[in-house]
Structure 1
Amino acid sequence: MKFKILLIVLILLCFTSCKDEKFTLSKIEGKLIPVTDSLEIDPAFDSIIKPYRDRLNEDMNTVLSYAPETYSKSNGAFNTAIGNLMADIIFEQSKGVFKSRTNFELDGVILNHGGIRSIISKGDITTKTAFEIMPFENSIVVVALKGRQIDSMMQYLARFKRAHPIQGFKLSIDQEYNIVASSVNGKAIDTAKTYYVATNDYLVTGGDNMRFFADNEGEYPLDYKIRNALIDYFKKVDTINPIIDDRFIQI
């Protein structure tokens, strides 16, 4: 009991002393602490995460398909093989889902050139390849656009002079970047008709200055990530065969 009383008295004296003392900041020092791989791995911790790491590496390195050549988004002025492939994949993987949910037919696809984040190297296509091409969590959204918005989309493509991936649309421009001809599924654009265009959620909100999506007739999120669409497509085909074609050309 006496010990407890003495301990309480010492604690009170300590707090009283602390209150009476005044501290003044005299100096602030900083130093660089480099982060390197020189730290030793904790064997106990590593043994816990190893099964998960091994499973992740196994999944990422699973071979899905094959690329006969190397494909880059820089290989083409107005349409590229890799961009055409991505647009075609989104169309192929989305049209059935969209039709079953709405009973509407998908008319086309537009994506952004900057959204292609890696090449497809010649050789095996793995799950990792899909993550490298599309590291973001962007999902597919189908947007209902009147023909006048499709006209605005064509003007956008001509004005920005980039190989934005498209599918279902054709556009020809002259040397001054004026539109010579444009169509949807081989037919002239009907300004009164509603077209259904698949894109990603980033572009729907005006990303890459695609403001023509703002004045739309409705949006239909498919809850389907771009990356997952790529993976599902690669699983279906033994060998990819993307080509540069005439969907967007300068004459």
Structure 2
Amino acid sequence: MRFTLLFFLLNFLFFSSCKEEKLHLIKIEGKQIKITDSLSSNQHIEDFIKPFREHINKDLDSVLAYSPNTFTKDDDELNTALGNLMTNIVFSQGNPIFNKRTGKNIDAVVLNHGGIRAPISEGVITTRTAYQVMPFENKIVVAGIKGNKVNEIVDYLVKSKRAHPFLGLKILLDQEYNLIEASINGKNIDENKTYHIATSDYLYNSGDNMSFFKPNESMLNLDYKIRNAMIDYFKKVDTINPVRDDRFIRQ
């Protein structure tokens, strides 16, 4: 009996000591390693990537067109030559695709001021220029929305007091930024009509608080990056000549 009790106690102590303890993370430590010129490069890696780098740079620096002036997104208060150029590119490159697939035309284009990331400088326009102006992978989508949603777009643009690029709409404000009138393709906005508005997939998904593209009557993703549309457009023109106009002004 004593031997049995002793054997039981020894087994109990053994298995109790083998039981896994729960571990808890107390702290994480690390240190910052600065990347500076003092870090030596690996020549083997450099030799490996050199031909790829040279090939990419050659493509990026290929001349596509010419710009007679420098154009920035901050050239004016409510609409700029560069912003107008961007919407013109989206329309001119995107509408033939949309028309071929649906038999309809794009009524308007709406982009955002923050989406333009660099100016177009005076001189040659290269593929690199397109990547600098539009570094994102945003694609052109066309949403079919009712006129009441178009009025929401107008309200957004009026309240923003910013040069968000658009095409097809015309908005006139007074000196206090109050709306005087708005139209689309030269006509009053019909709240019951469906209009086809081209934008980026980022804005379509409520980027920059543009929540007016949903719900909608239809949506077509052209599977065409805005940057690629820029490159294709530049290849077709010799010299760009964007202008600021009266599509969004105060009187």
CA distance in 1, matches of 2:67, 2:100: 31
User: What are the ranges of 5 or more consecutive residues in structure 1 without an aligned counterpart?
Assistant: 1-18, 20-27
Q: Normalising to structure 2: TM-score of the pair?
A: 0.86
CA distance in 2, matches of 1:162, 1:38: 45
Matched residue, 2:105:
105
Identical residues among aligned pairs (%): 54
Q: How far does residue 31 in structure 1 lie from its aligned partner after superposition?
A: 5.0
User: What are the ranges of 5 or more consecutive residues in structure 2 without an aligned counterpart?
Assistant: 1-17, 19-27
Number of equivalences: 225
Matched residue, 2:11:
none
SS at match of 1:239: coil
Name the amino acid aligned to 2:245.
D
Q: How far does residue 176 in structure 1 lie from its aligned partner after superposition?
A: 2.5
CA distance in 1, matches of 2:216, 2:236: 33
CA distance in 2, matches of 1:137, 1:243: 26
Name the amino acid aligned to 2:94.
S
Matched residue, 1:175:
175
CA distance in 2, matches of 1:131, 1:163: 21
State whether structure 2 residue 79 is matched by structure 1 residue 73.
Answer: no
CA distance in 2, matches of 1:239, 1:126: 12
Matched residue, 2:14:
none
String of CA shifts for 1:213-237, please: whole Å, max 9, x gaps: 1221111100000100111101110
State whether structure 2 residue 37 is matched by structure 1 residue 63.
Answer: no
Quick one: structure 1 residues 150 and 43, their matched pair in 2 at CA, closer, same or farther if it must change by over 3 Å?
same
State whether structure 2 residue 219 is matched by structure 1 residue 195.
Answer: no
CA distance in 2, matches of 1:29, 1:201: 40
Matched residue, 2:153:
153
SS at match of 1:76: coil
CA distance in 1, matches of 2:29, 2:114: 43
CA distance in 2, matches of 1:30, 1:205: 38
Q: Normalising to structure 1: TM-score of the pair?
A: 0.86
CA distance in 1, matches of 2:94, 2:75: 26
Q: How far does residue 91 in structure 1 lie from its aligned partner after superposition?
A: 0.4
String of CA shifts for 1:111-134, please: whole Å, max 9, x gaps: 000000001110010001000001
Correspondences of 1:210-229 after superposition (within 5 Å)? 210-229=210-229
Q: How far does residue 37 in structure 1 lie from its aligned partner after superposition?
A: 2.6
